[in-house]
Amino acid sequence: MSNTDTLTQRESALLTRLSESATLAMARISRELKSKGFDVISLSLGEPDFNTPEFIKEAAKKAIDDNFSHYPPVNGYQDVREAIAKKFKRDNNLDYTADQIVISTGAKQSIANAVLALVSEGEEVILPAPYWVSYSEIVKIAGGVPVEVLTPIDTDFKLSPAQLEAAITPKTRMLIYSSPCNPTGTVYLKEELEALAEVLRKYPNIIVISDEIYELINFSGKHASMAGLEGMYDRTITINGVSKGFAMTGWRLGYLGAPKWMADACTKIQGQFTSSPCSISQKAAKAAVEADPAVTFDMKAAFLRRRDQVVADLKEVPGLIVNVPAGAFYIFPDVSSYFGKAFDGKTIQNASDLCNFILEQEFVALVTGEAFGDPNCLRISYAAAESELTEAVLRIKRALAKLN
Ligand code: PMP
Ligand code: GLU
């Protein structure tokens, strides 16, 4: 008798509460369609289409030759953490010592460590929506309660101090936001963060996760860090990594800087999950963070050109409301004017229907705004070649024109 005959095929209670990552799901569906020969343009997954810079690859090759093949310390190699501490000082004026840094298998794991280490069962985590897909699900894994606060497109998707204050309850443990933001591209100015910090200072038990993974893809000027604001250092976890700015998504390397007790808590969690991040990726990341950030500016310039192109093209599409993103590589148009319209007897009820419709009709893969907590929008990643982007917008326009 095989195991499957005797075991009920039953998922854990946790799994039944959890959604599949919508970004990764759309990437999977696009790959499947492509492998069947369909001409899919995938603007679903948020990753640079550039290759990792040569000097970083060289550092990784050297690490292999130098036999960095053993388990590293759980929180990462001392020299790499020192290099990250220097980066935080150089770019963000944040003073972290190497023992306040925890290196992880992608910024995603850094966030998961922090939430698992600091949020208890039933505690609330405020997520200004639109938020990055995985925040809500990671909070659920920790037993926390995601509290979504919808920020409208006409305020550039920015959380106001009044909205923040209204969402705080005695159970609030954490606020998580990203700037530049995935999925909106919104960048908080220092004075806007300061206004939020003014509210938070009244509630000393709330921890902030400031996700700065898109720091290097900011078209609006200066990057601001929550931890640098008065009274915030002791309760902010600053997340960053090399995936986006250095085109290193596959290397799976992220990091955080935090007060020592929080860093230790994250290390304890990591020690039970992945032991440590990959030795070779760490050495590659060291080369990245030690480099002058100017080495990434060509990629940023390309993203800016593409942003301008896609924004201009999308503005020509009837019925879309397009916000101009100040950073990252996403555009998050409001598509709600198409809800209630139909094609071939099928009515589009929401952003997920529209996303599926565009994929089925014209083979352009996008991600529904519902996954990011905003059911009126769709996310378009413009980290793709200009020619592909032009063709994608033409196809989107063609699909939408079929609806009436
Ligand atoms: N935060 C945000 C806002 C993201 O978009 C991503 C996507 N990759 C991550 C964190 C995770 O980054 P990593 O690939 O380093 O895990
Ligand atoms: N963060 C990227 C995205 O939003 C990569 C996919 C993921 O990790 O969710 O598309």
What are the sequence ranges of the domains in the chain? 3-51+296-401, 69-291
Q: Which residues pair with 124 in a beta bridge?
A: 145, 172
Closest atom, ligand 1, to C-alpha of 178? 3
**Amino acid 4: pLDDT:** 57
Contact between 329 and 383 (Cβ < 8 Å): yes
| Residue 306 vs residues 136, 293, 390, 397: alpha-carbon distances, Å | 30, 21, 10, 18
**Token digits of residue 53:** 């810079």
**Token digits of residue 12:** 């854990």
> What is the C-alpha separation between 47 and 50, in angstroms, rounded?
9
| Residue 331 vs residues 16, 145, 249, 327: alpha-carbon distances, Å | 31, 28, 20, 10
* Same topology between domain 3-51+296-401 and domain 69-291: no
Strand segments (E) across 24-171: 41-42, 101-104, 124-129, 145-150
> What is the C-alpha separation between 84 and 228, in angstroms, rounded?
16
> What is the C-alpha separation between 46 and 327, in angstroms, rounded?
13
State the residue for tokens 């069962």. 121
Give, using CA atoms, the residue closest to atom 7 of ligand 1: 46
> What is the C-alpha separation between 297 and 284, in angstroms, rounded?
19
**Token digits of residue 376:** 């009126």
C-alpha 396 to ligand 2 mean position (Å): 22
Report the DSSP pairing between strands 367-368 and 378-381: antiparallel
**Token digits of residue 147:** 């509290």
The reply to whether ligand 1 has any atom less than 6 angstroms from the CB of 132 is yes
Instruction: Determine the CATH number of domain 69-291.
Output: 3.40.640.10
Ordered alpha helix ranges (H), 201-327: 260-273, 279-290, 297-315
Q: Which of 19, 47, 104, 244 to mutate to test the pocket of ligand 2 (most atoms within 8 A of CB)?
A: 47
Long-range contacts: 148-154, Cβ < 8 Å, 24+? 148/373, 150/373, 150/374, 153/321, 153/323, 153/332, 153/334, 153/376, 153/377
> What is the C-alpha separation between 167 and 334, in angstroms, rounded?
24
**Token digits of residue 293:** 């950030």
State the residue for tokens 């095929």. 9
Q: Which residues pair with 103 in a beta bridge?
A: 255
Ordered alpha helix ranges (H), 72-131: 78-92, 107-118
How far is CA 244 from its chain centroid? 9
Please, what sign has the CA dihedral across residues 150, 333, 214, 113?
A: positive
C-alpha 343 to ligand 1 mean position (Å): 36
Q: Which of 243, 255, 278, 332 to mutate to test the pocket of ligand 1 (most atoms within 8 A of CB)?
A: 243
Q: Which residues pair with 102 in a beta bridge?
A: 256
Along the 404 residues of the chain, how does pLDDT read in single tens digits?
555 556 778 889 899 888 888 888 888 888 999 999 999 999 998 899 999 999 999 999 999 999 999 999 999 999 999 999 999 999 999 999 999 999 999 999 999 999 999 999 999 999 999 999 999 999 999 999 999 999 999 999 999 999 999 999 999 999 999 999 999 999 999 999 999 999 999 999 999 999 999 999 999 878 999 999 999 999 999 999 999 999 999 999 999 999 999 999 999 999 999 999 999 999 999 999 999 999 999 999 999 999 999 999 999 999 999 999 999 999 999 999 999 999 999 999 999 999 999 999 999 999 999 999 999 999 999 999 999 999 999 999 999 999 99
Please state the CATH superfamily assignment of the domain spanning residues 3-51+296-401 in this structure: Aspartate Aminotransferase, domain 1 (3.90.1150.10)
